[in-house]
Every structure is written in structure tokens, then in C-alpha cells.
């Protein structure tokens, strides 16, 4: 009964309201009836419904009086959400760094897809060799690459003697027939160049010493040889090292980080090559390693070499031609170069 009396009093009071107020109130009430008439247990407001009430709130001071099925705070929330969306749309283009050309974006994506083991610095360096300057932050979101700090004392030693250091190490490669092949590798620190590598199924101190002699046949060997304390480096190996005039520097037990360059090279060989192929015998392993080492020397960029290759690689200007990609190591990696039309 009380509700009926309130409704009658409101109707009588409406007779004294301006026509504009009556039209807006009629619109608000009819819209709420329309929402209630939809086939839903709970009234659901769609985006056009929300927009209508946001507009009513802006043009009608008594909009709260006509609300029946929702709270005024809900309409205020809609208005704030619409405000945020409007300014997000209005601010979608801001002055700042110029956007990349679509062709360059496609090239970066193609590099990432064709070279899954690459990181963002590698892609940046490859683009720099093509005369395209792209910041690392622009590419980092595609392939982030964590870094591991090294020991300061050993870092200082390696920096001061980098031109006179060679490092050696062994690593193993399993075959499809469950045999284990051993790879002996010799790395020159100066340009991160692989001086020599060899594969065997039965390594020995004599064999390792002979491989070191083969690594420096016609040129003066470096002053220092960096290695771990593996028992494979026996008396015969040390005799061959002394015969070459080299001084052995042994790292601390269980501290491979003290021989970082060759350890990083072995990790690179695994991640970028050997983890993606099945090895059947020693001849195939030598062939695969030979092709990757050729790619490693002439085409792969290194941050430690000021983003150049062990064999210096010239920068190709944009005017030299169209960018083409050349597969290496069975398509695991690609060389990007400019080819004249």
C-alpha cells in the first residue's frame, strides 16, 4: 500500500516537471523494462546499455532517481571504464621512436623462426652486418638471453693474456648405436678461433698430445695452455706441451668457469648443432663439426669480438642489394647477406 502511495505522489509531481525531465525519465524507465524483458534470470547490461546510462548521467542531473534494477555506483564505474578506454584510444599514437618498417619486422621474425637457438644480441648483430641498426631492447622481447658473471681474478688474467692463450678440453657425443665418441678441441682466445678438433672412440694422453702438435704445426704456439685437471692429460701429453714451449695453466678442481671460452664453445656446439642431429659414426660427426666450425668462423657474430666473427666479416650497406638467406649446417642456421639484383 505504501509503495502505491509513493508511485501516485511521484506521478502527480511529474505534472509539474519540465518536458525535458519527463522525456529523460520515461527513457530511463522504459530502458530498464527492456532489460528486464530479456530472457535471462539476472538482468544483464550490454555495452550499448552501459553507454546509454553513461550519457544519461552526463545530461540529466536526476538520473539516480530513475534507477531501479542497478545501483548508481555501477553506472559511475561504467563511466570511469569508458573514460579509460577513450583516453587509451586517444593516446594510441604517441610521439617517440619511429616504428619499424614492416619488411624489417618480417625479417626479424624470419630470423627468429629459422634460427631457434639464437638470442636477441645475435639477431641484432646479424642485422648490423646488413646495415640495419636495431636496438637490443626492440628485439629482446622475442629471445631474452640471461648472462652468467665470471670470476674477476680469472677474467683479469684472461684479458691481459688473451693473445697468448690457447685452451683445450674434451666433450662426449653419444651415437645412435649407444657408442660414446670423444671430441678434443683446441681454442685460441685471441679471436675465439677453433684451431683444431679431432674425434676418437678411445682417447689417450699420447693421442691428445699428438692432436696438440697437429694444432700448431707451422706457427709458434701460444705461451699459455689452459686446461682442467682431467687424468687424460698424462705424462706424455705434458711432454708434448713442454716441447711446444707452452706453459700449462691448470684450473681449480671442479671449476669449469675458470676455463670459460672453451666451455662456452662446447655449450654452443651442443645447443646450436649437436642437440639437433643424430650421430651415427665418427666420420659423420667430423663432417657435421667441420661444417659448423666453418659457419662459426666466417658467419657467426660474437659479442666479445665487438659483434664481429672470428674471421672479420664486412658490413654490407643497404644499397648493395636485396637481403637473402643462405642455409648452413643442414638449415639449422642461416647466413644473411645482400645480393645484387
Task: Give the DSSP H/E element, type plus range, for residue 189.
Answer: none
pLDDT of residue 40: 63
Comparing 210-214, 270-274, 315-319, the range with the smallest average pLDDT is 315-319
Report d(CA 159, CA 163) in Å as an integer: 9
Residues 299 and 323 in one domain: no
Residues 270 and 322 in one domain: no
pLDDT of residue 160: 72
Asked if residue 53 belongs to a domain, the reply is yes
Q: Is the whole model's pTM more than 0.85, yes or no? A: no
> Tell me: the pLDDT tens digits for 169-212?
999 999 999 999 999 999 998 888 999 999 999 999 999 999 99
The answer to whether 221 touches 249, Cβ cutoff 8 Å, is no
Mean pLDDT throughout 210-230?
89
Residues 218 and 273 in one domain: yes
The more confident residue out of 63 and 5 is 63
Task: Give the cell for residue 93.
Answer: 599514437
Residues 168 and 300 in one domain: yes
Asked if residue 322 belongs to a domain, the reply is yes
Residues 283 and 170 in one domain: yes
Asked if residue 143 belongs to a domain, the reply is no
Task: Give the cell for residue 36.
Answer: 528486464
What confidence category does residue 275 fall into, taking pLDDT thresholds of 50, 70 and 90?
A: very high
Report d(CA 6, CA 16) in Å as an integer: 16
3-state SS class at 185 = strand
Asked if residue 67 belongs to a domain, the reply is yes
Residues whose CB falls within 8 Å of the CB of residue 35, separated by 6 or more in sequence, listed in order:
43, 44, 45, 49, 69
Residues 179 and 301 in one domain: yes
Residues shown for the chain = 341
Report d(CA 296, CA 265) in Å as an integer: 10
pLDDT of residue 3: 43
> Tell me: the pLDDT tens digits for 120-132?
888 888 989 998 8
Residues 243 and 318 in one domain: no
Residues 163 and 252 in one domain: yes
> Which CATH number covers residue 170?
3.30.420.10
Highest-pLDDT range among 14-18, 91-95, 163-167:
163-167
Among 80, 97, 96, smallest CA distance to 88 is for: 80
Lay out the sheet containing 193-200: strands in order across: 193-200, 180-188, 165-174, 224-227, 247-250
Report d(CA 324, CA 341) in Å as an integer: 11
Report d(CA 78, CA 82) in Å as an integer: 6
Residues 53 and 171 in one domain: no
Average pLDDT value for the chain: 81
Alpha helices per DSSP H over the chain? 2-14, 19-37, 47-59, 72-90, 102-114, 120-129, 136-140, 152-160, 205-215, 235-243, 260-272, 282-298
pLDDT of residue 145: 43
The more confident residue out of 147 and 329 is 329
What confidence category does residue 70 fall into, taking pLDDT thresholds of 50, 70 and 90?
A: confident
Report d(CA 244, CA 291) in Å as an integer: 29
Residues whose CB falls within 8 Å of the CB of residue 278, separated by 6 or more in sequence, listed in order:
176
What confidence category does residue 36 fall into, taking pLDDT thresholds of 50, 70 and 90?
A: low
3-state SS class at 39 = coil
Residues 164 and 252 in one domain: yes
pLDDT of residue 4: 37
Asked if residue 97 belongs to a domain, the reply is no
What percent of the chain stands above pLDDT 90?
38
DSSP state of 18: -
The answer to whether 126 touches 301, Cβ cutoff 8 Å, is yes
Question: For residue 130, what are the domain limits?
Answer: 102-137+314-339
Mean pLDDT throughout 211-216?
93
pLDDT of residue 18: 66
Mean pLDDT throughout 259-276?
94
What confidence category does residue 299 fall into, taking pLDDT thresholds of 50, 70 and 90?
A: very high
pLDDT of residue 54: 73
> Tell me: the pLDDT tens digits for 300-316?
998 888 889 999 999 88
What confidence category does residue 112 fall into, taking pLDDT thresholds of 50, 70 and 90?
A: confident
Residues 166 and 296 in one domain: yes
Task: Give the DSSP H/E element, type plus range, for residue 146.
Answer: none
Mean pLDDT throughout 133-155?
61
Residues 17 and 57 in one domain: yes
Domain count within the chain: 3
- β-pair partners for 338: 323
Report d(CA 193, CA 227) in Å as an integer: 16
The answer to whether 326 touches 340, Cβ cutoff 8 Å, is no
Phi, psi of 154 (to 5 degrees): -70, -35
The more confident residue out of 86 and 273 is 273
Mean pLDDT throughout 150-169?
72
Amino acid at each position: 500500500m505504501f509503495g502505491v502511495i509513493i508511485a501516485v505522489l511521484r506521478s502527480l509531481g511529474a505534472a509539474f516537471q519540465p518536458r525535458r525531465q519527463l522525456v529523460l525519465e520515461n527513457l530511463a524507465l522504459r530502458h530498464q523494462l527492456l532489460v528486464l524483458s530479456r530472457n535471462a534470470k539476472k538482468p544483464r547490461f550490454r555495452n550499448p546499455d552501459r553507454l546509454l546510462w553513461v550519457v544519461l548521467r552526463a545530461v540529466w542531473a536526476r538520473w539516480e532517481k530513475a534507477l531501479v534494477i542497478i545501483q548508481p555506483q555501477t553506472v559511475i564505474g561504467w563511466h570511469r571504464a569508458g573514460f579509460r578506454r577513450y583516453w587509451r584510444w586517444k593516446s594510441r599514437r604517441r610521439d617517440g621512436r619511429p616504428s619499424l618498417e614492416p619488411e624489417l619486422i618480417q625479417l626479424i621474425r624470419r630470423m627468429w623462426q629459422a634460427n631457434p637457438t639464437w638470442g636477441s644480441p645475435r639477431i641484432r648483430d646479424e642485422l648490423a652486418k646488413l646495415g640495419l641498426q636495431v636496438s637490443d631492447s626492440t628485439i629482446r622481447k622475442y629471445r631474452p638471453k640471461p648472462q652468467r658473471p665470471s670470476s674477476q681474478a680469472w677474467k683479469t688474467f684472461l684479458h691481459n693474456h688473451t693473445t697468448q692463450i690457447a685452451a683445450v678440453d674434451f666433450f662426449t657425443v653419444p651415437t645412435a648405436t649407444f657408442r660414446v665418441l670423444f671430441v678434443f678441441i683446441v681454442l685460441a682466445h685471441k679471436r675465439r678461433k677453433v684451431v683444431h678438433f679431432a674425434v676418437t672412440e678411445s682417447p689417450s694422453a699420447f693421442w691428445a698430445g699428438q692432436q696438440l702438435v697437429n694444432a700448431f704445426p707451422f706457427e709458434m704456439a701460444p705461451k699459455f695452455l689452459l686446461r682442467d685437471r682431467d687424468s687424460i692429460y698424462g705424462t706424455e701429453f705434458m711432454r708434448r706441451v713442454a716441447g711446444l714451449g707452452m706453459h700449462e695453466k691448470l684450473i681449480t678442481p671442479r671449476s669449469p668457469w675458470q676455463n670459460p671460452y672453451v666451455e662456452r664453445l662446447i655449450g654452443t656446439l651442443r645447443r646450436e648443432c649437436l642437440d639437433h642431429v643424430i650421430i651415427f659414426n665418427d666420420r659423420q660427426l667430423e663432417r657435421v663439426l667441420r661444417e659448423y666450425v666453418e659457419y662459426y668462423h666466417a658467419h657467426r657474430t660474437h659479442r666479445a669480438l665487438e659483434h664481429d666473427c672470428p674471421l672479420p666479416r664486412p658490413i654490407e650497406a643497404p644499397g648493395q642489394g636485396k637481403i637473402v638467406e643462405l642455409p648452413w649446417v643442414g638449415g639449422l642456421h642461416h647466413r644473411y647477406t645482400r645480393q645484387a639484383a
